[in-house]
Amino acid sequence: MILTVTLNTALDITYRVRSLRPHTAHRVTEVTERPGGKGLNVARVLAALGHEVTVTGFTGGATGRALRGQLADTPGVVDALIPVAGSTRRTIAVVDTTTGDSTQLNEPGPEITPAEWAAFQEAYEVLLRSASAVALCGSLPPGVPVGAYAGLIRAARAAAVPVLLDTSGEPLRRGVAARPDIVKPNADELAELTGSHEPLRATQDARRRGAHAAVTSLGAQGLLALTPEGRWRAVPPAPEHGNPTGAGDSAVAGLLSGLLDQLPWPDRLTRAVALSAATVRAPTAGDFDRAVYEKLLAQVSVTAA
């Protein structure tokens, strides 16, 4: 079982409009809702790839009930979310169907009490007993200690469970120092962590700070990975046009899937890049186009970095 942790879950709402312009009213042509937050997106892709997945984190209020109701209809995903008194946040994506561009509005999330945080930590340690890998994903809701991911990484390492960290800012800085097996920031998050905007140098710095392997997302330019086995650059054959929402989460799913399938690193990166690009092409944010994914598996280029 793969465990994904989303401390700041969300109900993702997507509005589609023909042309997004400021200071004017818009007629929405389509509305979709789905359970969201980075770890839930990762779980959905892993389940579609055939893995057993359990999701945990916080959920509450009417939005949380809607999220859990829709999550129950997601094949292959087990709900182990912790209820809280506050209300789960919403994220609003407004997609311009003419250009394919999207504008994102993210609420901050519910205030988590010390008792709710303690209840989560207890549940997490129980879930680790049956986990084959764990992904710690996304932002921290108000009230959760900034060093939360560092503590969760140490608990996973004590249980001998491989752990991947995908977050940003101070939670990333502290989490990397706890020595996760894989850290996967994007280029901007990595620059904020290291102070360097040169991807190779910044990724090397992330490893020196404690990550066993560092994989940097370069958007349409693919992935850069520095690992104990070597360093590689994985690039799709051409940029994909569409909605990039969830593409990074699909890359995380590819890395975890490759880890559990015991693939060599170049093959893990191929899977991650193909899934990420296929997510950009999917009609619904956070899904992936399986036909595009299977085609790209033979087209992603992996070279020594």
**pLDDT single digits (tens) 122-149:** 999 999 999 999 999 999 999 999 999 9
Please enumerate in sequence order all residues whose Cβ is within 8 A of that of 248, keeping only pairs 6 or more positions apart, or say none: 38, 166, 184, 186, 217, 276
Question: Distance of alpha carbon 65 from its chain centroid, rounded?
Answer: 22
Task: Return d(Cα 74, Cα 68) in angstroms, integer.
Answer: 10
Residue whose entry in the numeric block shows the structure tokens 């389509």: 30
Percent of the chain scored above 70 by pLDDT?
98
Which residues are 2's β-sheet partners?
53, 133
User: Can you give the pTM of this predicted structure?
Assistant: 0.92
Cα separation, 216 vs 9, whole angstroms:
23
What per-residue confidence (pLDDT) applies to 182?
A: 97
Residues 6+ apart with CB under 8 A from 298: none
Give the pLDDT mean for 237-250.
82
Could you give the 3-state DSSP secondary structure of residue 155?
A: helix
CA distance 245 to 102: 8
What's the pLDDT at 281? Answer: 77
Task: Measure the CA–CA gap between 261 and 50, rounded to whole angstroms.
Answer: 11
pLDDT tops 70 at residue 286? no
How far apart CA 48 and CA 194 sit, in angstroms, is 35
d(CA 232, CA 14): 35
Query: Which pLDDT belongs to residue 274?
Result: 94
276 three-class SS: helix
- The question of whether 289 is a catalytic residue gets the answer no
Burial class (CB in 10 A: 0-12, 13-18, 19+), 119: middle
Measured CA to CA, the distance from residue 253 to residue 136 in angstroms comes to: 12
Average pLDDT over residues 153-165: 98
Q: Which residues of 16-49 are buried (b: 16+ CB within 10 A; e: fewer)?
A: bbeebeeeeeeeeeeeeebbbbbbbbbbbbbbbb
Can you list the alpha helix ranges (DSSP code H) found in the chain? 38-48, 61-71, 114-128, 148-158, 169-177, 187-194, 199-208, 247-260, 265-281, 290-296
Give the per-residue pLDDT at 10. 95
Active-site residue (options: 205, 249, 287, 289) = 249
C-alpha–C-alpha distance, residues 97 and 153, integer Å? 40
Percent of the chain as helix, strand, coil, to the nearest 5: 40, 25, 35
Q: Residues 175-190: pLDDT tens digits?
A: 999 999 999 999 999 9
Indicate the range of 37-51, 140-154, 163-177, 285-299 predicted with least confidence: 285-299
- Chain-centre distance for alpha carbon 30: 25
User: What does the alpha-carbon distance between residue 175 and residue 183 come to, in Å, rounded to a whole number?
Assistant: 9
Is residue 283's pLDDT more than 70?
Answer: no
Average pLDDT over residues 137-162: 97
Most confident of 73-77, 81-85, 204-208: 81-85
Residue 48 has pLDDT above 90, yes or no: yes
Rounded to the nearest integer, the mean pLDDT of the chain is 93
pLDDT digits (tens, 9 = 90+) for 10-44: 998 989 899 998 899 999 999 988 899 999 999 99
| Confidence band of 239 (pLDDT split at 50, 70, 90) | confident
